[in-house]
A = this chain, B = another copy of it.
């Protein structure tokens, strides 16, 4: 893919675009090497491709003007939130201008009565929740990183609460965006449901900046539950833990979070976050509801866990203990990195029908072990979604190759089981070939949509789908 990048770069008149942008936003346009480098690489192993310039935008109208300039000069435009994506989403494969939206961090409306809010794209999920604290409401979608809400919409992010609250697909009620011709448009609205035309909101959610640049999002909010209980439960075997998840979901328990950490991941989290959990496959649970409702769920799931070799719940009943548990879960990626200092971390992502989850995880674990690789497994298993974080010696090409092969087999296994090549990390350019394998007819339509909305291919080119 890097050859492609070199081959196709520089089709437009980048210098002219930069000159005009500079006149428009002054010192908020940077061509400094350090700024460009930082904006050209996300959190994974992908190589990194810096843009030619970075524009720090302050408003939707400004984004529209920037895009219009780039469009006129046929220069690529890449939207950038916090740079925490994992498949090379924000790399400037063909150069161009990255628009950094972090400065667009205003919370525009909180409509407590309608359980929704509208924010600029640069607001992060933790910032939104901090601002909501006094309203009794919260926003549940929580990928590992403290990502921007615009970026989360663009990648159709989810996280630990998705099993109960859904993903960005369900949480985004509408959005404001800039299209490839520099026009501003708004989709969705305040109504909870609508049958008024094509679902543009859902088309832009998950399009990774290739169909438009999301500058504002209207988000669904939820009331903070009356009662919340969290617990960890250790299992004798990975199979016992996974089967507990499957039985819980199949019984229709409205569980809020049900997360798996295998023994290697538990070890990493114990070290990184100062937990003292037994180093065996472990589930983290969280129950939301009324007092009585939570008690019912706890009893029911406790029985299921017991039947599958669970060693009883270790409660995190106080808020601080609960926060500590989930902070450890959210730091799983960083904990993995510390497990082997100096190693390169490669995070993978698949999602399968829940009925195939045990089989898929166990086969993947066996494959990792057979290849003698270090790769903790962690997952939002209530959705059938799990990750391996491979920790690879950068000086051993054989190790990287073996990890690549295990990762490839993991994706193909998931596809063969009726699953998807990415539950939440998205496509970027790292998973483009798998999207074709997963949706052989769909990519034909996706190409038509991309060409219709971005005929010059200036919006985040080289991502999501190949335009052959």
Residues of chain A touching chain B, judged by Cβ–Cβ distance below 8 Å, are 111-116, 155-158, 162, 166-167, 169-170, 179, 183-187, 189-200, 202-203, 205-207, 211, 222-223, 225, 246, 249-252, 254, 289-290, 292-293, 296, 349, 351-356, 383-385, 414, 417-427, 431, 434-435, 438-439, 441-446, 448-453, 464-465
Contact = CB atoms under 8 A, between A and B. Distances in A.
Contacts of A420: 189, 191, 193-196
A289 B187 CA distance: 34
A199 B186 CA distance: 18
Contacts of A156: 193-195, 199
B438 A196 contact: yes
Assembly stoichiometry (copies): 2
A356 to B, nearest CB: 8
Contacts of A427: 195-197
Max chain B Cβ within 10 angstroms of own Cβ: one of A115, A292, A442, A445: A445
A253 to B, nearest CB: 10
A225 B253 CA distance: 10
Given A113-B246, A193-B351, A199-B205, 6 more contacts: A113-B250, A113-B354, A191-B385, A191-B414, A196-B431, A198-B207
Given A203-B203, A252-B222, A422 B115 contact: no
A445 B178 CA distance: 11
Contacts of A190: 352-353, 356, 417-419
18 contacts: A113-B354, A155-B195, A184-B441, A189-B420, A190-B356, A191-B383, A192-B354, A193-B383, A195-B424, A196-B435, A198-B449, A200-B445, A203-B203, A223-B251, A223-B252, A290-B293, A292-B293, A448-B452
A197 B446 contact: yes
Given A250-B115, A251-B223, A296-B290, A169 B193 contact: yes
Contacts of A465: 197-198
Q: Which of A349, A356, A442 has the most CB of B within 10 A?
A: A442
A183 B192 CA distance: 34
A111 B417 CA distance: 13
A308 to B, nearest CB: 16
Contact of A169 (B199, B246, B385, B448): B199
A431 B431 CA distance: 40
A378 to B, nearest CB: 16
A465 B196 CA distance: 10
Contacts of A192: 351, 353-354, 383-385
B425 A195 contact: yes
A190 B415 CA distance: 10
Contacts of A254: 254
B195 A203 contact: no
A445 B179 contact: yes
A461 to B, nearest CB: 15
Given A113-B355, A115-B250, A198-B446, A185 B441 contact: yes
Given A250-B115, A420-B189, A441-B183, A195 B426 contact: yes
Nearest to A432: B197
Contacts of A158: 193
